[in-house]
């Protein structure tokens, strides 16, 4: 009897240990998912900052190649500062003048459309390709110059000139940079398009510096985190609008190859999925900094793009049906397969079909069944 009690006691301990291990495993899996989301967000931010840094390096190289233009830019900077002081209050909504109660928070971010996707940020691929060519040309030029001692002396002179220009900017533009610091810190926006305009103006003003990051290192009060978040939001919104326009500008061109449009839809799908994958943390971060985030939700720009995708799917399925009815296609099986693949990608992208799109898809299936007697009928 005592042995049975001991066995039961050991069994209870083992069950408790297993439950504790399972609970620990669940917590570790949850933490792992959160870390993956954070890594994806940081990769997106790094890609954005890298592209911006490459562009700055290119600008800096041109300034070092033509130092005589530095003086002219310093003179034009004063006029630009006066103009920006007059127009700055029109481009942002100050906190002191806003007496209206803050808007109610948007509904929680939907997770139904989130699926496993590659972590590669396709969003900045075209920008990185363009700037990578500039960086490669710059690297080749500097590598060839390091061979000659005369070129080494020239590099030293350029570096000395560069450091002097940075020091000059720190001393002469201190008041101007302090003004920009106040602008960024107090900026509050209600619309993402206002963020885009603000970032464009901010980048234009900072471009007058010989090297933005080198100069701003001397200003520890510079709100780098908020400035980077503003640039990230503006870049994401601008590029998303550009991809949307590029994709749906083909809907009236009936001769546009279907595979080409399919590739564009897949690119757009990857961009949207990356936004949905990281938007919970991104929305929270933007909310803390009073940056608009509702455009990332299914009720904003992202949702509108999905609706437009359904329209595009209907149009291309109708195009296939029309060409099949006119018997102008040498291989109906191939084109039906392409249409089905296109419909599938849009279906997965949008999370389903509306009634009109479903009816067109059923018509495509009926034509396939009529042309292929051995096809499996759903």
Q: Check residue 110 and give its pLDDT.
A: 44
Q: Read off the pLDDT of residues 90-109 as tens digits, 9 standing for 90 and up.
A: 545 444 444 444 545 554 44
Q: Check residue 178 and give its pLDDT.
A: 93
Cβ neighbors of 85 (< 8 A, separation 6 or more) are 179
Cβ-based neighbour number of residue 54 at 10 Å: 19
Q: Check residue 345 and give its pLDDT.
A: 81
Q: Check residue 302 and give its pLDDT.
A: 81
User: What torsion, rounded to 10 degrees, do the Cα atoms 348, 117, 41, 94 define?
Assistant: -10
Residue 278, classed as helix, strand or coil, is helix
Determine the Cα–Cα distance for residues 296 and 234; give it in Å rounded to an integer.
12
Q: Read off the pLDDT of residues 37-56 as tens digits, 9 standing for 90 and up.
A: 778 888 877 877 777 777 77
Q: Check residue 315 and give its pLDDT.
A: 82
Determine the Cα–Cα distance for residues 60 and 215; give it in Å rounded to an integer.
13
Q: Check residue 63 and give its pLDDT.
A: 63
Q: Check residue 66 and give its pLDDT.
A: 57
Instruction: Output phi, psi for 288, to 5 deg.
Output: -60, -35
Please, what's the b/e burial string for 331-368 (b: 16 or more CB within 10 A of its CB; e: otherwise)? Answer: ebeebbebbbebbebbbebbeebeeebeebbeebeebb
Tokens of 370: 């009529």
Contact by Cβ (8 Å): 228, 330: no
Q: Check residue 251 and give its pLDDT.
A: 53
- DSSP output for 2-38: HHHHHHHHHHHHHHHHHHHHHHHHHHHHHHHHHHHHH
Determine the Cα–Cα distance for residues 251 and 112; give it in Å rounded to an integer.
28
Instruction: Output phi, psi for 140, to 5 deg.
Output: -65, -40
User: What percent of the chain is modeled with pLDDT above 70?
Assistant: 61
Tokens of 251: 């809907």
Cα dist from 186 to 65, 99, 115, 203, 260, whole Å: 37, 15, 37, 17, 45
- Size of the chain in residues: 378
Determine the Cα–Cα distance for residues 335 and 340; give it in Å rounded to an integer.
9
Low-confidence ranges of the chain (pLDDT < 50): 69-71, 78, 82, 85, 88-89, 91, 93-101, 103, 107-124, 126-127, 143-147, 252, 375-378
């Amino acid at each position: 009897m005592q042995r049975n009690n001991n066995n039961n006691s050991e069994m209870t301990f083992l069950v408790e240990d297993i439950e504790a291990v399972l609970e620990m495993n669940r917590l570790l899996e949850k933490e792992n998912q959160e870390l993956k989301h954070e890594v994806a967000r940081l990769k997106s931010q790094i890609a954005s900052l890298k592209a911006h840094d490459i562009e700055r390096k290119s600008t800096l190289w041109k300034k070092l190649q033509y130092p005589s233009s530095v003086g002219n830019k310093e003179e034009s900077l004063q006029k630009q500062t006066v103009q920006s002081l007059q127009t700055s209050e029109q481009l942002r909504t100050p906190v002191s003048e806003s007496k209206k109660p803050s808007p109610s928070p948007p509904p929680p971010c939907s997770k139904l459309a989130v699926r496993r996707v590659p972590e590669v940020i396709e969003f900045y691929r075209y920008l990185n390709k363009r700037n990578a060519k500039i960086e490669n040309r710059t690297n080749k030029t500097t590598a060839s110059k390091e061979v000659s001692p005369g070129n080494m002396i020239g590099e030293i002179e350029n570096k000395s000139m560069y450091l002097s220009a940075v020091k000059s900017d720190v001393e002469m533009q201190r008041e101007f940079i302090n003004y920009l610091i106040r602008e960024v810190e107090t900026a509050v926006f209600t619309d993402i398009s206002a963020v885009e305009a603000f970032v464009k103006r901010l980048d234009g003003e900072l471009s007058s510096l010989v090297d933005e990051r080198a100069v701003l290192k001397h200003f520890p009060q510079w709100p780098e985190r908020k400035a980077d978040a503003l640039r990230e939001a503006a870049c994401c919104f601008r590029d998303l609008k550009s991809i949307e326009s590029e994709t749906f500008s083909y809907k009236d061109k009936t001769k546009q190859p279907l595979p080409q449009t399919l590739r564009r839809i897949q690119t757009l799908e990857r961009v949207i999925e990356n936004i949905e994958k990281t938007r919970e943390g991104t929305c929270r971060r933007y909310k803390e900094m009073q940056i608009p985030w509702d455009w990332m939700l299914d009720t904003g720009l992202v949702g509108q793009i999905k609706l437009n995708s359904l329209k595009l799917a209907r149009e291309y399925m109708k195009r296939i049906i029309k060409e099949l009815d006119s018997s102008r296609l040498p291989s109906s099986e191939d084109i039906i397969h392409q249409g089905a693949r296109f419909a599938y990608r849009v279906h997965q992208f949008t999370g389903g079909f509306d009634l009109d799109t479903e009816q067109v898809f059923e018509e495509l299936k009926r034509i396939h069944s009529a042309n292929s007697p051995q096809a499996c009928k759903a």
